[in-house]
Amino acid sequence: MRKRGVRWFILIIGLLLGIITDSTAQESEKPVKLFKDTLDGAFDISHYLLNLHGFLPVPTIITEPAVGYGGALAGAFFIAKKETGRKKFRMPDVVGAGGGYTQNKTWFIGAGYFGFWKDDHIRYRGVLGYADVNLKYYGKGIDFLDKNPAEFSIGAFGFMQQAIFRIGESRFMLGGKYIYSKTKVTAFEDSKLPWVDPREFNLTNSGIGVIGEYENFDNIFSPNKGFRINITYNQYLDFLGSDRNFGRLNSFAYYYLPLITNKWISGFRLEFQMATGDTPFYAYPFLIQRGVPAMRYQGKYTMVAETEQLVMLTRRWGVVGFAGYGKTFNEEIKGGSAWNAGIGFRYLMARIFGLRMGLDVARGPEEWAVYVVFGNAWFR
């Protein structure tokens, strides 16, 4: 099921755990209280997570329109690095596990490990889990399925191993990954999926990926400034045990600009995806936008542009507005398009980590949606 087979638990665990770098803020020598910041006395979980090697249980609401409302519970354990005498903040490793269930009977379980090794010269990510997801298939463009989607269920077990390596002391990183998933697709009684090759109903997908990235964020949880560009190509190959030979190119660029220092942060996102080879129907790229259901707009090629404007009203509280536009392209079928817009709020949950958490209300072409945001909404 390509990366889609583990997307649900990666999404939950990834958004809950995140990845951060290079925060240089230090605690003062005031008396430490477990859930209060030593600077302003506000609620803050930095000390709990970092100094106490804290285990953090995180219940959350699932609000993805494609699967309906539901709940999830994840647990994260932060493993602090040994002291070196250097005052620079060092990102702890993070271990997590979780699961969830939604109103359309979608459920998932998974676990992950996020490692930052050799003073952040190696970044490792490993995840595995199982998901049983009920979805609608709208086709790859404007055709019959666009107005008459076929309902189906897809069960997938999968795991991923990924490592990227910093080039010297630069901000450039190169690496690779291995991805495996085993999927089973079941069409509902009134949706026989006649447009789908029956061989796609049971597939083993096994492939490798190549990753190139440049990143100079002040922190990756909730950036205030900086640029990140990532290009990843995954190729599934029969000699690795895959039933299909196909590929996926995923690329994105994020840019954060503080228009007013510590007050107004302007963010921009560009994303492009492309499918190659004998791609299963569920593995085609789709538009990823708040307010747009997953897999609603699929195509051989997809492009998304989005902006997000965050205004901090106080040191801790801020309001955010966002809007975007996405489009799909195909060689034969005319592609679709989708817009999105919304508002939300953020709270600085962990000052040392630069981590904000909040809630977004979004509108797409068809419906409203609510999203719990941990870190940033564009996490990949």
Instruction: Please report where in the chains the tokens 């510590």 appear, as a residue.
Output: 262
pLDDT digits (tens, 9 = 90+) for 145-186: 888 888 899 999 999 999 999 999 999 999 999 999 999 998
Question: What confidence tens digit (pLDDT) does each residue in 227-276 have?
Answer: 999 999 999 999 999 999 999 999 999 999 999 998 999 999 999 999 99
Give Cα 373 to chain centroid, integer Å: 11
In a domain, 261, yes or no: yes
Per-position DSSP letters for 166-191, written without gaps between them: E-TTSSEEEEEEEEEEEEEEEE-TT-
**Within a domain: 363:** yes
CA distance 76 to 58: 8
Domain enclosing residue 176, as ranges: 4-374
Residue 314 in this model has a pLDDT that exceeds 80: yes
CATH of the domain at 216: 2.40.160.50
Residue 379, in any domain of the structure: no
Q: Which amino acid is at 18?
A: G
DSSP code per residue over 90-113: -PPEEEEEEEEEETTS-EEEEEEE
Residue 167 tokens, joined = 């080039």
Look at residue 271 and tell me if it is in a domain: yes
The domain total for the chain is: 1
Residue 284: inside a domain, yes or no?
yes
Residue 280 lies in a domain: yes
Has residue 57 been placed in a domain? Answer: yes
As a whole number, mean pLDDT of residues 335-363 equals 94
120 falls within a domain: yes
Average pLDDT on 294-318 reads 97
* Predicted pLDDT of residue 4: 39
